[in-house]
Amino acid sequence: MPALDFSAIFTEHYRWLLITGLAMTLLLFVLCWVGAMAVGILLTIVRMVPFRPLELLVWAYVEYQRNVPLLVHLFVWYFGIPQLLPYSANDFINSHNSELIFAVIAIALYQAAYISEDLRSGIRTLPKVQFEAARAMGFTFLGSLRWIILPQAMRNSLPPLVNQTLLLFKATSLAAVIGVAELTYQARLIENETYRIFESFSVITVAYLAGTMPLIWLGSRLSRNNASRTR
Amino acid sequence: MISIQSLNKDFGAFRALSDINARVEKGEVVVLCGPSGSGKSTLLRTLNRLEPITTGRIEIAGVDVNSRGVDINKLRQKIGFVFQQYNLFPHLTALDNIVIGLTKILKMPRDEATKRAMALLERVNLTRRASNYPAQLSGGEQQRVAIVRSLAFQPEIMLFDEPTSALDAEMIGEVLALMRELAATGMTMMCVTHEMRFAREAADRVWLMEKGKIIVDTDKAAFFNSHPNERVQRFLSSIN
Ligand SMILES: Nc1ncnc2c1ncn2[C@@H]1O[C@H](COP(=O)(O)OP(=O)(O)O)[C@@H](O)[C@H]1O
Ligand SMILES: [Mg+2]
């Protein structure tokens, strides 16, 4: 039985690959998170506008995102969308790390659907009077959402939002399939060259756990706080 | 100050307000009463356009509330509205409940807004509660904060929709006392309430509603006199 040999994958070159992979994973994570949050909040706001066609549009978007696997979204964006774009746009994208751009778009749009669902259920638990009280004071529609409704919805939805963050962090690994050089991609590269399959993947497993464990801890703490909070 | 002309309000096929014609003069205190479902809340809510109307006209200080050109958010600042419950924003302290409107709507500098808010809390003896969250306040304290939060905008009209109905008996008095005090300052007020004690002490006029109509609109003395209108008598005995 062959012994484990981590030294083979910790040469200077492979260390460098792992570090850049980690950096890329973190970059992906941050970009996707910010994008998903922004789009998720936007969807939530659009959804509150009392205009039926808009409501239907958001509904269709959310269902499309939730019912098609993320991997398919990634393929559609990376292989499908460029076909529809003019050459000039393709040139621009290709010279600006197209893998990363399309991965961020696909993952962010996908997670945004879930985030807007979480925020919407956070809003549903608020008494209707909260919105009316804000409007009656003289807040605009957007002002009421910005200062009164969304802060409360965010707080109500914190545990599911942390959970979405966790899922998003793990989902960044799928970007490997379209060639984004993040952790999983680098591990495959190293494993291919060294045949140290188990070692390669254990290293990135530890790296992923280092990211997810604090989120899990935070999530359970928040749920506990929410349950015990009397106000 | 308030003029309501031929007002109708439908919810689908249901007529919630039917041919309302009424006036409230500046400084007048009107108590609005009537059985549940008679349209009191709906009428109050049409006044600041929380509820759009079907036909008719409402004027506040000469402004047509439902005209297209009117800046409704500006108009609402001049009309305080106190709901039965959940007035306060639970994620903000008592102080910030008052401050947020001043800083975000009126764009007042924060220290000036804080000063005004503290003065209002002092007026209702709640300075020590300034940094408490609504859930840490009693129901009566919450309603008093809600009332002074409206006053922070220096409104010309105050509307109350059953402000004491959700309160325990021992807290009703403190809220009514504040409303009486407000009435004495000459504030124009419309109060939906079943507290006839308040009506006797503070009202100028009483409106009695039934099935979407104002069926009695009279001054307080006539409403409570010893030979009341038969419909008033029926209402008064129904709530006691
Ligand atoms: N948003 C609404 N949609 C449909 N019907 C409503 C709505 N709001 C009120 N109503 C109806 O209008 C009538 C008057 O309601 P309301 O003004 O709340 O009465 P009150 O405050 O006197 O108890 C009731 O029959 C109520 O069911
Ligand atoms: Mg009512």
pLDDT digits (tens, 9 = 90+) for B23-36: 999 999 999 999 99
pLDDT of residue A226: 65
pLDDT band at A230 (very low <50, low <70, confident <90, very high): very low
Token pair recorded at residue A128: 């209707």
Which residues of chain B make contact with A141, given a CB cutoff of 8 A? none
How far apart are alpha carbons A194 and A217 in whole angstroms? 35
Residue A214 scores a pLDDT above 80: yes
Q: How confident is the model at residue A184 (pLDDT cuts 50, 70, 90)?
A: very high
Give me the numbers of helices (H) and strands (E) for chain A, helices first please.
12, 0
Identify which of B215, A41, A230, B92 has the alpha carbon closest to the alpha carbon of residue B206: B215
Task: List for chain A the helix, strand, coil content (%; round to 5).
Answer: 85, 0, 15
Mean pLDDT, residues A156-181: 92
pLDDT confidence of residue A145: 94
Instruction: Indicate which CATH number applies to the domain containing B174.
Output: 3.40.50.300
**Among A6-10, A151-155, B126-130, B200-204, which stretch is predicted with the lowest mean pLDDT?**
A6-10
**Which whole number is the average pLDDT over A86-100?**
81
Q: Determine whether the interchain pair B48/A137 forms a contact, defined as Cβ–Cβ distance below 8 Å.
A: no
Report CB contact under 8 Å: A130, B86. Answer: yes
Number of domains comprising chain B: 1
> B101 vs A127: CB contact, 8 Å cut-off?
no
Q: What pLDDT was estimated at residue A86?
A: 82
Q: Would the CA dihedral through B178, B184, B189, B193 be positive or negative?
A: positive
For tokens 């893998």, the residue is A99
How does residue A198 score in pLDDT terms, banded at 50, 70 and 90?
A: confident
Residue A2's pLDDT is 67
φ, ψ (nearest 5 deg) of residue A172: -60, -25
Pocket test for ligand 1, best of B9, B20, B42 (most atoms within 8 A of CB): B42
Closest CA to A75 of A31, A28, A33, A107: A107
Residue A17, both tokens: 């690959």
- pLDDT(A223) > 80: no
By the 10 Å C-beta count (0-12 exposed, 13-18 middle, 19+ buried), B125 is classed as exposed
Amino acid at A65: Q
Q: How far is CA A127 from CA A74, A118, B85, in A?
A: 39, 17, 10
Q: Count Cβ atoms within 10 A of the Cβ of residue A79 and give its class: 0-12 exposed, 13-18 middle, 19 or more buried.
A: exposed
Average the pLDDT over each of A154-168, B185-199, B224-238 and give the range with the smallest value: B224-238
Q: Render pLDDT for B190-229 as a digit per residue (tens, 0 to 9).
A: 999 989 889 998 999 999 999 999 998 988 888 887 666 7
Chain A residues inside the 8 Å CB shell of B50: 132, 135-136
In terms of pLDDT, which residue wins out, A103 or A85? A103
Average pLDDT score, chain A: 90
DSSP structural state of residue A3 = P
- The alpha-carbon gap from B49 to the nearest alpha carbon of chain A, in Å, equals 9
Do B101 and A143 count as a contact with CB atoms less than 8 A apart? no
Confidence class of residue A228 from pLDDT cuts 50, 70 and 90? low
- The per-residue b/e assignment along A142-168, b for 16 or more CB within 10 angstroms, e otherwise, is ebbbbbbbbebbbebbbbbbbbbbbeb
Q: Can you tell me the distance from the alpha carbon of B206 to that of B217, in angstroms, rounded to the nearest whole number?
A: 6
Contacts of A156 in chain B (CB under 8 A): none
Range of the domain at B127: 2-239
Q: Which ligand is nearest to the CA of B39?
A: 1
Q: Which residue has the tokens 């959402």?
A: A145
- Measure the CA–CA gap between A62 and A55, rounded to whole angstroms: 11
As given in the structure block, the two tokens for residue A95 are 């010279």
Bridge-based pairing of strands B29-33 and B188-192 is parallel
pLDDT at A4: 80
pLDDT > 70 in chain B, percent = 98
Task: For chain B, list the strands marked E by DSSP.
Answer: 2-11, 14-24, 29-33, 55-60, 63-64, 79-82, 157-161, 188-192, 205-210, 213-219
Four-residue CA torsion sign, A61, A67, A69, A75: negative
CB atoms closer than 10 angstroms to residue A92: 13
CB–CB of A34/A228 below 8 Å?
Answer: no
Q: Give the residue extent of every domain in chain A.
A: 13-224
How many residues are listed for chain A in this entry? 231
pTM here?
0.86
Residue A193, classified by CB atoms within 10 Å of its CB into exposed (0-12), middle (13-18) or buried (19+), is middle
Q: What is the per-residue pLDDT for A231? A: 45
For the CA of B192, the nearest atom of ligand 1: 21
Please count the residue pairs, one from chain A and one from chain B, whose beta carbons lie less than 8 angstroms apart. Answer: 60
A26-58 pLDDT, tens digit each: 999 999 999 999 999 999 999 999 889 999 999
Q: Give residues with Cβ within 8 angstroms of A38, minimum separation 6.
A: A112
Q: Look up the CATH number of domain A13-224.
A: 1.10.3720.10
Residue whose CA is at the smallest distance from ligand 1 atom 3 = B11
Residue B11 beta carbon below 6 angstroms from any ligand 1 atom: yes
Asked whether residue B180 carries a pLDDT value surpassing 80, the answer given is yes
Beta-bridged to residue B30, according to DSSP, are: B190, B205
